[in-house]
Structure 1
Amino acid sequence: MSVTPLAAHLSARPAAFRGRIGRDARSGHYAVPRRYRLHLATADPDCLRIAVTHSLLGLERACPVTFLSAVPDCPDGGHSALRPLYDASAHRYTGPALAPVLSDDWSGRIVSSHGPDIARDLARHFGGGRPALYPCGAESEIEAVERMCAQGIEEAAQRAGAADAEAAERAAALDTLLTTLGVLERGLGAHEHLISDQITAADVELWVALVQLDTVHRHHLDAAAVHRIAGHPALWAYARRLAAHPAFGAHLDLDAIARRHHARCQGLEAAGAAVQILDWESHAADGTAARSQVNRP
């Protein structure tokens, strides 16, 4: 699939730490197996992307994961389990202790809390001999898919379901969402993957966006809008196939996503809440079995 980058910049949640994993000691944080640890709450989409990436790369031994509760337990929206790391990493840090976090077990400090950087560094510096999630020459296409998912799907879906927005604004946002889905539908065609003949980071990005669209955003859309969103058979068949892949389905915890949504959501539920697009639990049966082997709060 050929993807044309959007002009607007990708919006992202501000990250308190933006350290990077490098190739050698001069980079500050060089790649050493079992030096680093991930802290993830997979009900959060940023964390879900990293968890899928981590599993696709088979890094369970090289970079252990600590899974956090779906709903943060601090009043400021942070995780109390992460507070010691944040306090050790920044003098008098006053912000919330958010996931995702990549920490350095050698120093007891945080390397990064920026999801896209973490995923890229795992793939580039621990991915030797493993699937090429960022194939050479495909970086611009992957970045374009990231922008499409962030702006054309997630942001557009939020605006389309915003109860305090004008009807015209909601209609325009829905049109943006449907246009984006249409582009992706035509791009997929009969292909199994988005930009290559194998799974790449673009597939991880799009799959998580589709999970959020069906399990979170549709709750604030009317039924007619959800039926129009569902009218992209190639796209949802693609989402269903990936959900059956253990690296994806193992991290799909629908109950956790629902609890996180209800704890954070300030919008009004609409008729679309009753119109589920995919039966994720059924399609992710293999992944669910794998997830039962992991101790999660």
Structure 2
Amino acid sequence: MSVVPSSLLPASAVPAFRGRIGRDAASGHYAVPYRYRLHVAPSTPGCLRIAVTHALLGLDDTLPLTVLTETPDTPDGGYAALRPLYEASAHLYDGPAAAPVLSDGWTGRIVSTHVPDILRDLALRFRGDGPDLLPSARRREIDAIADLCERSVNRAAQRAGELGIDGEAAHRDPLTVLFSALGRLERRLARGPYVLGDAPTAADVHVWVTLVQLDTVHRWHLDAAAMDRVAGHPALWAYAQRLAARPEFARNLDIDAVLRHHRAHCRGREAAGAAIRIVDWSAGPS
């Protein structure tokens, strides 16, 4: 396992524990039932993706999941429950004990805090009889969808909200990026029930969590005209509502916790788009 020493990071940063789950015992960490535990705060996008992936794979009985509160409970922005894991894993660790964490019950140490690695290892090493969320023939497409969600939806929406305060012209470019990305996803979902066809993959986890963020967090800083255009993608939002009714998605989503987490960290000003809600995320399974 590798870790970036806290002395080389900004004071506000968390060290990146990057252990991986291998194929067999020779790799050190390998998939064994009940050996590992996930610690997540699903009010954050990365933890929500992990929790949904864990549920889709049906890992409740073999890889326990601990759900933390949406608000860290220590002054440095970490969790007291995770402190022993961090201190056992990094000598003289004095940074925040943040989520997510994949921990090893045999050693009492952290395997990984890196969301992409955890997601990949869940899908490839702990899958069991669960769905193939990372089919080998589609992995490049899945990576491209994840990048589209992060760069062209999440970051573009955030940037548009930040610049929109200074006038319409200032945030035209990030909105163009955002609407182009939403259009690409709309066209995909007009052709089938899932992003890559007839079965769910990791791409759907990325897209769905991104839509949750767009409709519950980013809308607070976009104007009404922008949110009207965001809402004008019927296949995309019907898909979001349909997945929100599946137990694997619904049981891990606490909209009130997402909003409390957002308000605790956000210093931006509210815009008119805050009044526009597209999906009833709390509808639950039908």
**Do both proteins adopt the same fold according to a TM-score greater than 0.5, normalized to the shorter chain?**
yes
Partner of 2:85: 85
Q: Distance in 1 between matches of 2:132 and 2:16?
A: 28
- The separation in 1 between residues aligned to 2:242 and 2:45, in whole angstroms, is 19
1:30-84 deviation line (CA, Å, top 9, x unaligned): 1110000000111111010010100110000110011100111222221121111
Question: After the TM superposition, which parts of structure 1 deviate over 6 Å for at least 4 consecutive aligned residues?
Answer: none
Aligned mates of 1:246, 1:40 — CA distance in 2: 18
- Is residue 159 from structure 1 mapped to residue 159 from structure 2 by the alignment? yes
Q: In 2, distance between residues paired with 1:38 and 1:98? A: 12
Q: How does 1:263-282 map to 2 (within 5 A)?
A: 263-282=264-283
Amino acid of the residue matched to residue 266 of structure 2?
C
Q: Tell me the residue number matched to 1:132.
A: 132
Q: Paired residue for 2:63?
A: 63
The answer for the alignment partner of 1:215 in structure 2 is 216
Superposition deviation, residue 209 in structure 1: 0.2
Contact kept in structure 1, 2:14 and 2:96, CA below 8 Å: no
Q: Which runs of 5+ in 2 are unaligned?
A: 1-12
Counterpart contact for 1:88–1:108, Cα < 8 Å: yes
What is the distance in 2 between the residues matched to 1:166 and 1:172? 14
Count of equivalent residues: 273
- Inter-partner Cα distance in structure 1 for 2:229 and 2:250: 25
Aligned to 2:4: none
Local SS of the residue matching 1:111:
strand
Unaligned stretches of 5+ residues in structure 1 = 1-12, 287-297
**Is contact 2:14-2:95 (8 Å) kept?**
no
Moved more, 124-133 or 138-147: 124-133
1:25-44 map, 5 Å: 25-44=25-44
- Give TM-score, length-normalised by structure 2: 0.92
Alignment of 1:1-297 (within 5 A): 16-162=16-162, 167=167, 168-282=169-283, 284-285=284-285
Report the Cα offset of residue 14 of structure 1: 6.7
Paired AA for residue 38 in structure 1: L
CA contact (8 A) 2:39 2:67 kept: yes
Counterpart of 1:91 in structure 2: which amino acid?
A: H
Is the contact between residue 39 and residue 100 of structure 1 (CA under 8 Å) also seen in structure 2?
A: yes
Deviations 1:80-137 (A, max 9, x none): 2111111111012232211110000110000000111111111111113220000121
Return the offset for 1:24: 1.3
Comparing 118-127 and 34-43, the one that deviates more: 118-127
| Alignment check: 8 A CA contact 2:163 2:170 kept | no
Bigger RCO of structures 1 and 2 (CA < 8 A, at least 6 apart): 1
CA RMSD in angstroms comes to: 1.5
Indicate the SS of the match to 1:39. Answer: strand
SS at match of 2:162: coil
Instruction: Give, in whole Å, the separation in 2 of the partners of 1:71 and 1:202.
Output: 28
Change (3 A) 1:57 1:278: same
User: Which amino acid is 1:279 matched to?
Assistant: D
Q: Which amino acid aligns with 2:247?
A: P
Query: Percent of aligned pairs with the same residue?
Result: 59
Q: Aligned partners of 1:196 and 1:126: how far apart in 2?
A: 23
Q: For 1:27 and 1:165, how far apart are their aligned partners in 2?
A: 51
Task: Look up the SS of the partner of 1:161 in the other structure.
Answer: helix
- Distance of 2:172 and 2:47 partners within structure 1: 30
Q: Partner amino acid for 2:45?
A: P
Contact 2:211 2:240 in 1 (8 A): yes
